[in-house]
Structure 1
Amino acid sequence: MNPIDELRAARPAHLGDRPIDPRTRTAELSRAMAQPRPVRRRRRPARPVWSLGLAGAAAAVTAVAVVVSMNGTASPPRAPDKPSSTRQTVTLSAREVLLAAAARAERQPEGTGGYWHTVSVRRTLFAAAKGDYRVLDQQRSEGWTPSATGAGQEQWGRQQSLGARPATEADRQAWERAGSPASIEVTVPGKPKPMVLKTSPGRARTGHSPLTDGDKVFWLGRNVTMKDLRHLPGDPGKLKKRLLAWKGQDTDVPMSGDAWLFAVSAGLIMDMPVTPEVRGAAFRMLAELDDVRVIEDVTDAEGRTGTAVAIDEPTLGGGVAEHRLIIDEATGQALASEYVAVKPRGLQAGFEPGTMWNSTALIKAGWTDDKP
């Protein structure tokens, strides 16, 4: 998945062609794999379009195979139990991990409600323009997408900056040597001027906007309606065929079939209101991809440990990023989506290979009858 394409995609229709400032574009990075967008204008989003237009807020990849309780409220993701020292550990292949996740996802109850409600926290790494340290920009996003998408329906979003903080202890020490500034100028590759991040949390902003084209709620290679999502095939082969039919539409960076399927399916699995059967089918489809690999004992930005499945994705400027989907093997749901610099270019330029550049942690996802 190409992050710059995601930034371009992560913009609501009602803003038209007005330019976006660098901070807004960067903030919109992680919501970029699932929201709808105006055809031929923007590229690759990743969540409900609402949050993008409110207060300059943004884009991100949401969460996986959520566990929905019988009343439609999702249980928060839980990290799997760590094996005891006396228990024999077995290394699983990516295929085995994904098939196990599929079996658990298919057993989750559906839930019902008037809105699909998601909560996530996105973190993006920046280098300070002055001083040898790096900071994490932290944004909390919350969205409500209506289950009924007829005339007059709107999507709601709430965005809040949680404040920027030094990325590591060494970065903190360097920040303190720089005078512990409450406002930090950071560099954005490709932009002539730095942008400013605040270390203190901002005010939560809530807003709403019409659905794209009147009924489109997410993006799967094209803008799709709630009905489209609810009628996706639960067979892995048929789901793969449906997604590949949309491959490469409205994108700038060529992607292999495996990378395309992983990128699109990660958004589908993570925060779209599909049926448990379709989530399971998406996991099974990914299990058959040759380029997917497994990374064990990965800790996400919220401190939860899971198993990641990953694939390399191209970025603009000839770069490469490793896209990780961290899964709780005990429940088959996602904990987070992450991007690690492999060949740093574009927005990752200047970071060492292996640097965790962007992450989105799922806090909550499920159906509700309540809106803001």
Structure 2
Amino acid sequence: MNDLEHLKTALAVPAPDRSVRDAGRHRLQRLIRAEGGRPSGGPRLTWRGLAIGAIGTVAAGAVLATTTLTAPQDPGTGAIAPGDSSVLLPADTVLMAASSKVRQRPEKGGYWRAKTENAPFKYKTAKGYTVQATMRTETWITASPQVKGWRVFDMSGYAPATPADKSAWEADGSPTSWRVEWAPGFCEQVKVKGGKDCHVTVTSEPEHSVEPIKTKNSIGDLGGRPITLDQVRALPTDADGLEAALADRMPGIEKEELRDTIIFEAGIDMIMRLPVTAEVRAAAYEMLAGLPGVESTGVIADPLGRRGPSVATNADGADNVLYQLILDEKTGLPLATQTVEVADGGTSGASVVTEIGWTDEKPGLS
């Protein structure tokens, strides 16, 4: 079964209850943003296929809520703690300060570059132990009429997640590949409709790939729809206009109970993943500052231990889950996003930015 056939089978599942659908849609969107789940072998879900699946799943209401990414945590870093109350500035103050800082940043260079890292992707094997891999994504976009850009993926090979998993793996004969469910729970729904097996094979071999970006077609997505470089350049530079433009890309959003959460997440996507101008990025922060329900969560550490002010809103319309943005206080640029379980501080869907902005460096495409 190829990528599109696999996704069509998944999307043929009848829509579940509305609350389950909403939660699954946003969790899936964050999974895609974290750029995870690129297994090898079996029915291979490529990054392009996952992006298509994310858009289609929004429409079909398919749920992948049980597919979880777990970010590395160190209780000593206070990564999910409320932060130092002495520096707990209001969310709109934090976001307006970020707006002012990014508006002043120079935008010079031949390429727009963004590098992100994900939290480890984990799968439980049939023998009960867990294997995990990490992935880095690098995006290069240029205005050159010849070559528009590239997206570079580097996935480490899967390996036992903990010392205990390593012992179990050795007892299993130290295999180098594992057949696993890529979406536990959802697979059973697919099988009810007579769908194919919902497993993939992951291996210990690292993966490296380079995909060209043709900006006349799409350089990414915004609001669940593909967006071209020309469309990015035409985005409004004021908060109200930008919010209206996002709403226009998502028909029916005004009737959505989770409208503000969806706008919040789309605004962050714009800041982190698209080569918008400084003015548009500043307007995006101002738009976020004006959304109801956005709160400050203090100065915290991201999964790499870098500290910065953070804001969050209730994800999926639930009080026990937050979608959180961590900022670089000096530059106003994003450090990371993560989904936080309020009860225990656990994180999922973490996406960490290591580099973002315009540069005269050239991409290494070996």
Preserved contact between residue 8 and residue 42 of structure 1 (Cα < 8 Å): no
Preserved contact between residue 118 and residue 351 of structure 2 (Cα < 8 Å): yes
Cα offset, 1:88, TM superposition: 9.6
Instruction: Report the counterpart of residue 258 of structure 1 in structure 2.
Output: 260
**Counterparts in 2 of 1:252-291, with a 5 A limit?**
254=256, 256-291=258-293
**Counterparts in 2 of 1:1-372, with a 5 A limit?**
2-4=26-28, 24=45, 42=56, 89-113=86-110, 115-130=111-126, 134-148=130-144, 153-164=147-158, 171-179=162-170, 181=174, 183=177, 186-187=180-181, 188-189=183-184, 190-191=186-187, 194-198=199-203, 202-208=206-212, 210-211=214-215, 214-221=216-223, 222-248=225-251, 254=256, 256-314=258-316, 322-341=322-341, 354-368=345-359, 370-371=362-363, 372=365
Distance in structure 2 (CA, Å) of the matches to 1:9 and 1:271: 9
Q: CA RMSD in A?
A: 4.1
Distance in structure 2 (CA, Å) of the matches to 1:199 and 1:163: 4
Q: Which has the higher helix share?
A: 2
Cα offset, 1:320, TM superposition: 8.2
Distance in structure 2 (CA, Å) of the matches to 1:203 and 1:223: 26
Highest CA radius of gyration, 1 or 2?
Answer: 2
Secondary structure, aligned partner of 1:89: helix
Distance in structure 2 (CA, Å) of the matches to 1:134 and 1:177: 9
Preserved contact between residue 137 and residue 197 of structure 1 (Cα < 8 Å): no
String of CA shifts for 1:176-216, please: whole Å, max 9, x gaps.
3443845455543123555444456x1422232645xx433
Letter in 2 for 1:100: A
Preserved contact between residue 34 and residue 118 of structure 2 (Cα < 8 Å): no
Q: Which has the higher strand share?
A: 1
Letter in 2 for 1:365: I
Distance in structure 1 (CA, Å) of the matches to 2:49 and 2:311: 24
Distance in structure 1 (CA, Å) of the matches to 2:310 and 2:48: 24
Distance in structure 2 (CA, Å) of the matches to 1:95 and 1:9: 24
Distance in structure 2 (CA, Å) of the matches to 1:340 and 1:22: 31
Preserved contact between residue 138 and residue 162 of structure 1 (Cα < 8 Å): yes
Go from structure 1 to structure 2 and tell me whether the alpha carbon gap of 1:197 and 1:306 turns closer, same or farther (over 3 Å shift).
farther
Distance in structure 2 (CA, Å) of the matches to 1:88 and 1:357: 25
Go from structure 1 to structure 2 and tell me whether the alpha carbon gap of 1:91 and 1:313 turns closer, same or farther (over 3 Å shift).
closer
Go from structure 1 to structure 2 and tell me whether the alpha carbon gap of 1:193 and 1:88 turns closer, same or farther (over 3 Å shift).
closer
Preserved contact between residue 31 and residue 349 of structure 2 (Cα < 8 Å): no
Unaligned runs of 5+ in 1: 12-19, 45-86, 343-351
Letter in 2 for 1:327: L
Cα offset, 1:23, TM superposition: 6.0
Go from structure 1 to structure 2 and tell me whether the alpha carbon gap of 1:281 and 1:311 turns closer, same or farther (over 3 Å shift).
same
TM-score, normalising length: structure 1: 0.65
Distance in structure 2 (CA, Å) of the matches to 1:142 and 1:231: 24
Secondary structure, aligned partner of 1:310: strand
Identical columns (%):
27
Go from structure 1 to structure 2 and tell me whether the alpha carbon gap of 1:301 and 1:184 turns closer, same or farther (over 3 Å shift).
farther
Distance in structure 2 (CA, Å) of the matches to 1:366 and 1:264: 19
Cα offset, 1:275, TM superposition: 1.2
Go from structure 1 to structure 2 and tell me whether the alpha carbon gap of 1:165 and 1:146 turns closer, same or farther (over 3 Å shift).
same
Cα offset, 1:220, TM superposition: 2.1
Q: How many residues of Structure 1 are paired with residues of Structure 2 in the alignment?
A: 294
Preserved contact between residue 117 and residue 143 of structure 1 (Cα < 8 Å): yes
Go from structure 1 to structure 2 and tell me whether the alpha carbon gap of 1:21 and 1:220 turns closer, same or farther (over 3 Å shift).
farther
TM-score, normalising length: structure 2: 0.66
Letter in 1 for 2:90: S
Distance in structure 1 (CA, Å) of the matches to 2:337 and 2:302: 9
Distance in structure 1 (CA, Å) of the matches to 2:352 and 2:33: 20
Distance in structure 2 (CA, Å) of the matches to 1:281 and 1:303: 28
Unaligned runs of 5+ in 2: 1-24, 36-40, 59-83, 188-196
